[in-house]
Amino acid sequence: MATFDGVTVGFVGGGIMAEAVIKGLLRQGLVPPERIIASDPQEARRAHLAQLGIRTTASNAESVSASSVLVLAVKPQVLRGVMTELGGRLPAGCLVLSIVAGAQIRTIYKLLGAEAVVRIMPNTPAQVGEGMSVWTATPAVTPAQREQARAIIAALGAEIYVDGEHYLDMATSLSGSGPAYLFLIIEALIDAGVQIGFARPVAEQLVLQTVRGSVDFAQQSGLHPAALRNMVTSPGGTTAAALHVLEKGGLRALLTDAVLACYERSKYLGSLSEE
């Protein structure tokens, strides 16, 4: 059981994903708001986060110096500059959690001097506590720190620990970018509903509840997706006709190609972070 007694959690970067983590911490009661501090260069963003009762600052150094757990949540393109600025300022024994896409652990160690590093690949449903996060940790992360990290990540939704950093590129292509694929499919289905004559609000309700219900059914049944699909598909029926069109159009292959393209791009961007 993770303990956060006396722990201050700091955030460098106060964007959407940082806000999701902060709300998760508060929702689960892991850390009181007065023990959370977030830095962000935008005054409007600091004012927004301050409404959660946490401390905010424009100084990254102030956020770092106050923290025993530090969450890196800046955009990838500014990470190198931020870490160079903060190099040597990290408190001894500080646990660093990075949710920066593509940022390699060795880069964080080299520029920030952090040894206890947890790298996380979350996704956007974390904003409503339904995220899927994949994470890994360096050997310097103590058992107690690992439990702290797990508790923080679990506050975002489901989590899976992997023993190699290369799995995070795989997770980026499947669960990290996955919501975008599904949102595109949802959008297309809603548009199709409008095309055949439904009012858009009705089409949205039909599609969103169908997706939600299908996911819940798949999780609770434990059946293979093919078995679930067959349950809906009568021989020579309407669903069979629709599935024939989707298979003929290469939907399955397109999704595979999309995931592979995302995976290769993730590896490429990760290599850039080391330069």
pLDDT for residue 220 = 97
Structural element, H or E, at residue 190: helix 178-195
Would you tell me how many other CB atoms lie within 10 Å of the CB of residue 245?
9
pLDDT band for position 273 (50/70/90)?
low
Q: Indicate if 20 and 155 belong to the same structural domain.
A: yes
Report residue 147's pLDDT band, with 50, 70 and 90 as the boundaries: very high
Does the CA dihedral 47-52-53-55 come out positive or negative?
A: negative
CATH label of the domain that carries residue 193:
1.10.3730.10
pLDDT above 80 for 65: yes
Q: Same structural domain for residues 14 and 70?
A: yes
Mark whether 111 and 206 lie in a shared domain: no
Q: Judge whether 169 lies within some domain.
A: no
Select from 118, 139, 163 the last residue of a domain: 163
170 found inside a domain? no
Residue 123 is given by DSSP the state: -
Read off φ and ψ for residue 265, nearest 5 degrees: -65, -40
More confident site: 101 or 262: 262
Question: pLDDT tens digit string along 180-237?
Answer: 999 999 999 999 999 999 999 999 999 999 999 999 999 999 999 999 999 999 999 9
Flag whether pLDDT at 49 surpasses 90: yes
Phi-psi region of 90 (alpha: psi -120 to 50; beta: other; left: phi over 0): beta
At 80, is the pLDDT very low, low, confident or very high (cuts 50, 70, 90)? confident
pLDDT score, position 275:
58
Give the pLDDT mean for 166-179.
94
Model pLDDT, residue 133: 97
Domain count, the chain: 2
- Asked if the structure places residue 157 within a domain, the reply is yes
Q: Which residues of 135-158 are buried (b: 16+ CB within 10 A; e: fewer)?
A: bbbbeebeeebbebbbbbbbbbbe
The pLDDT mean for the chain works out to 94
Identify whether the C-beta of residue 2 lies closer than 8 Å to the C-beta of residue 147. Answer: yes
Average pLDDT for 247-264: 96
Mean pLDDT, range 139-166, rounded to an integer: 96
What is the mean predicted confidence (pLDDT) over 102-112? 89
The boundaries of the domain holding residue 230 are 178-269
75 and 21 assigned to the same domain: yes
Give yes or no for a contact between 124 and 179, defined as CB atoms under 8 angstroms apart: yes
Q: Are residues 19 and 149 in the same domain?
A: yes
Say if residue 263 is in the same domain as residue 184: yes
Mean pLDDT of 40-44: 95
- Segment 173-177 shows an average pLDDT of 95
Query: Is 156 in the same domain as 235?
Result: no
The average pLDDT across 234-261 equals 97
Query: Considering the domain boundaries, does residue 149 fall inside one?
Result: yes
Same domain, 207 and 121: no
Per-residue pLDDT, 270: 76
Residue 115: Cβ-neighbour burial (10 angstroms; 0-12, 13-18, 19+):
middle
Averaged over 145-149, what is the pLDDT? 96
Q: Is 145 a member of any domain?
A: yes
Q: Which residues contact 77 (CB under 8 A, 6 or more apart)?
A: none
67 pLDDT band (50/70/90 cuts)?
very high
Q: Is 275 a member of any domain?
A: no
- Read off the CATH number of the domain in which 159 is found: 3.40.50.720
Give the whole-number percent of the chain exceeding pLDDT 90.
Answer: 83
Tally the C-alpha atoms within 13 A of residue 142's C-alpha that lie toward its C-beta: 8
Provide the pLDDT for residue 274.
62
For residue 54, is pLDDT > 90?
A: yes
Q: What six digits make up the tokens of 231?
A: 């349950």
- Name the pTM for this structure: 0.90
Split at pLDDT 50, 70, 90, the class of 88 is confident
